[in-house]
A and B are shown apart, each in its own frame.
Chain A
Amino acid sequence: MKGKIKINATKIRGMILPIILIIIWQVFSSVGIFEKHLLPGPIVVMGALIELLKTGELITHVLATTYRVLSGFLIGASIAIIFGTLTGYYTKAFELCDPLIQALRTIPSLAWVPLFILWLGIGESSKLSLIAVGVFFPVYLNWVMGIRGVDPKYIEVGAMYHFTPMETIRKILIPATLPFLFTGLRTGLGLGWMFVVAAELMGASSGLGYLMVLGQNSSAPELILGSIIMFAVLGNITDTVLIYIEGKVLHWKESFKGGENNVSH
């Protein structure tokens, strides 16, 4: 009983600030402190979203953007894992490739856009490549850290039991590095959502980023805000799915679960 009450209190506590801010937002908008052509109130924004839902446009845009993110995510993460396995395992490869990758990592997403559009045009390939680039780096980074950080004692234990290389990989390396991988995947997914906005700002004819451009250029700030809200919602949903998968895969893992509640994340 006590545990149940505690969880509900946490949830309610979390919702207080957002609800208060939304109320303040609506009040300021109705009163006119926020001018309606600059920052329309939440009711106007929700109205615009509902309109789009009714015409089916919202679903089209959501699907388009989600498809781009997930495809780019799969491509980027796969390449990162393959690359990361090579450089993680072979020190020579690491010394060769890692400095370059570290240098490229810090280039901001928007800087890649003009280049990719020049090379790949304004079609889907430039968008997916952009997202894949964004996803690649955090996944690669965490995966390599994971591999190189495996406690050698575990490997020794494997050697004592005469593990074959395949068994070492399957029973020691992979379970030891998976937690790092999931950290990387979650970060990568977040970046994927970020990069898709940049990708859709240039020459997209569908998607939430397109909706943003439409709102920006046709004096409809409620579309911009609505699109931002949808991004937040979708980002959260996909992240939650990833957390759930992580929980299932790493169910055996013991970790610090927090002082107050025994709810693992």
Chain B
Amino acid sequence: MKTRKIITVGLIIGTLAIGILSGCGKKEAGGATISTGTTVAKETKVPKEIKLDYATYNIESLVLKEKGWVEEEFSKDGTKVTFVQSQGSNKSLEFLKSSSVDFGSTAGGAALIAKAKGAPIEGIYIYSKPEWAALVTTKDSPIQSVVDLKGKKVAATIGTDPYIFLLRALDEVGLSKDDIEFIPLQHSDGANALITNQVDAWAGLDPHIARVEVENGARLFYRNVDFNTYGFLNVRSDFAKEYPETVERVIKVYEKAKQWIAENPDEVVTLLEKEAALKKEVAQKQLERTDFTESIPGDNQKAALIKAAEILKKEELIPKETDIEKIVNELVNGSYASKAISK
């Protein structure tokens, strides 16, 4: 009798606990399904809150954060706008998956890995075509090319474009991750580890690369524009399904920021100095290596991702059974941007 009581109580508590925990998670993701805004028509539901990320590798996000244009756009709907800082694609993806942000900025390749493993996200806007990843070493290092990396300590952030860049560079010369001593460090920590000689090389990300170039004379011993997989603004699929007009409006604001960047090159540098705490030359270098012409995710991006997918499968970052074409098509969604930008 006593054992039966214990089992029953245990079952009830266990089920309740799990139910509450998973229910909590779902509620956060749902957003405001109760109120639909005060004076807006029933079809155009507006969320109570929009959460976006900002990062030093997404220049438009810094512009938006400083200028307050997102808040301005949604002020008439009474929507709260929150900005969360991201230290890299890996973090943005964590935020997206846990519904801590609705819009997250990542490299295309990073988003592909997450999407292939079931992350419910879509890449809806291209904020830049940067040459933001490269292999970096110190001024006096004997390393001259990728083959010299054999047996050396190399730092990179797992799940980001520089990481994928490193893998592709190694693969190109017939090496793999097992031929080096790989040290996972977040971007800024990797930069510091390089200049304190704790690692021999670093697969880095701008503006951190620009910073160590300018401040410590670090040199980029391997560059490859084609290995970079675009700056994607991703949205949570649930959010997009529920608030498609909101997604278009956010894209419009992003385009506004992009326009501003094109028309105010000097002010952009000043903004980066302030918001990203970068020296002038560092900010200039980063901008030099960033191309803002494309906005609508389309075939160019799909092609770049399909090329990147090969190494991702090899390194088992995406499951061997993944249907690459399908996943890329599900991820790269230019529909919102096409509508938003043509209007």
Contact = CB atoms under 8 A, between A and B. Distances in A.
B114 A219 contact: yes
Interface in B80-97: 90, 93-94, 97
Contact of B159 (A36, A210, A217): A217
Interface string B112-154: 0110111110000000000000000000000000000000000
Given A28-B22, A217-B159, A37 B198 contact: no
Given A16-B7, A121-B198, A122-B193, A203 B118 contact: no
A25 B22 CA distance: 11
B184 A214 contact: yes
Contacts of B120: 35, 37
Contact of A122 (B97, B116, B183): B183
- Chain A: interface residue count, which band? 20 to 34
B157 A217 contact: yes
Interface string B1-29: 00100110011001100100010010000
B159 A24 contact: no
B181 A219 contact: no
B325 to A, nearest CB: 20
A218 interface: yes
Given A20-B10, A214-B158, A217-B158, A205 B117 contact: no
A247 interface: no
B170 interface: no
A224 to B, nearest CB: 11
A214 B90 CA distance: 10
A36 B116 CA distance: 12
A203 B183 contact: yes
- Chain B: interface residue count, which band? 35 or more
A256 to B, nearest CB: 24
A17 interface: yes
Contacts of A123: 198
Interface in A55-96: none
Contacts of A33: 22
A104 interface: no
Contacts of B3: 13
B196 interface: yes
A213 interface: yes
Contact of A38 (B97, B116, B198): B97
Contacts of A21: 14
Q: Which 5 residue pairs across A and B have the least CB separation, nearest first?
A: A217-B159, A37-B118, A217-B158, A219-B117, A217-B90
Interface of B: 3, 6-7, 10-11, 14-15, 18, 22, 25, 90, 93-94, 97-98, 113-114, 116-120, 155, 157-160, 181-185, 189, 193, 196, 198, 317
14 contacts: A20-B14, A28-B18, A35-B120, A38-B98, A203-B185, A205-B183, A210-B184, A213-B184, A217-B158, A217-B184, A218-B117, A218-B158, A218-B159, A220-B117
Interface of A: 13, 16-17, 20-21, 24-25, 28, 33-38, 121-123, 202-205, 210, 213-214, 216-220
Given A37-B119, A218-B317, 9 more contacts: A13-B6, A16-B7, A34-B22, A123-B198, A203-B185, A203-B193, A205-B182, A216-B90, A218-B159
